[in-house]
Amino acid sequence: MKRTLLKTADGSYTLQIQEWDEQYHSKHGAIAEALHVFIKEGLHFWFENFKVNEVSILEIGFGTGLNSYLSYLETLNNPWKIKYTGVEAYPLNIEEVKPLEYPSALNASEAEFLRLHQIPWEETSKISDAFQLTKQKKHFSEIEDQNTFDLIYFDAFGIRVQPELWTEDIFKKMYTALRPNGILVTYAANGNARRAMKTAGFEVERLPGPPGKKEMMRATKPKD
């Protein structure tokens, strides 16, 4: 499927799949959405609540690497260690991600952003002392981890275009992959997705959404 560059409302870029009329990020602000949903309501929430200094993250849809890069940047200003696993079935090539210009938009180093894309798949690579990344090239339906992650960034394409990714089956996999007390954050607030999460065992909160979206969701795997 053809992907084209699209400028979003906060001035940052995303990729658009014209055939689906679907974007990798919100048209109302790609960086604004990622910072709100995944960094503020996911990463910061985790460290503020659990008072630990290490987190193990699973990202559903590595895509442009924006969430991974923003998480890495957080380790430069906080005493945090992050083990990050990004799952992606359709990797982008470096020529598609460079024009997104995330490092300059964030006033940060391009070297680490490019490394996130250049490191080999299926191996754990140290981006810094505080940030290690494992990229796995596979479909979400193949995820079989158990009690492995503290935090899931659930950033699949929307339920309108990929309803098969917002089902009880997929959320059961997410639930199993999380440790007790683990959380999943997503930009979506769809009622069917929320019911599927609850059936899978999650406790679900609706939170104020990023610019242009009333609500988002955070789901918690209760402590047994």
Q: Which residues bind ligand SAM (CB under 6 A)?
A: 24, 61, 63-64, 66-67, 87-90, 139-140, 155-157, 162
Three-state secondary structure of 100-139 = HCHHHHCCCCHHHHHHHHHCCCCCEEECCCCEEEEEECCC
Quick one: 50 or 96, whose CB is closer to ligand SAM? 96
CA proximity to 185, closest of 212, 199, 205, 214: 205
Q: How far is the CB of 222 from ligand SAM (least distance, A)?
A: 26
Q: Which residue is nearest to ligand SAM (CB)?
A: 63
Quick one: 158 or 201, whose CB is closer to ligand SAM? 158
Distance CA 137, CA 91 (A): 8
The CA-based angle 82-185-54, given to 5 degrees, is 20
Quick one: 29 or 63, whose CB is closer to ligand SAM? 63
For residue 129, what are its two tokens?
């002392």
Q: How far is the CB of 137 from ligand SAM (least distance, A)?
A: 9
CA proximity to 37, closest of 7, 77, 70: 70
Quick one: 35 or 66, whose CB is closer to ligand SAM? 66
Q: How far is the CB of 160 from ligand SAM (least distance, A)?
A: 12
Distance CA 47, CA 22 (A): 32
Quick one: 61 or 182, whose CB is closer to ligand SAM? 61
Q: How far is the CB of 12 from ligand SAM (least distance, A)?
A: 11
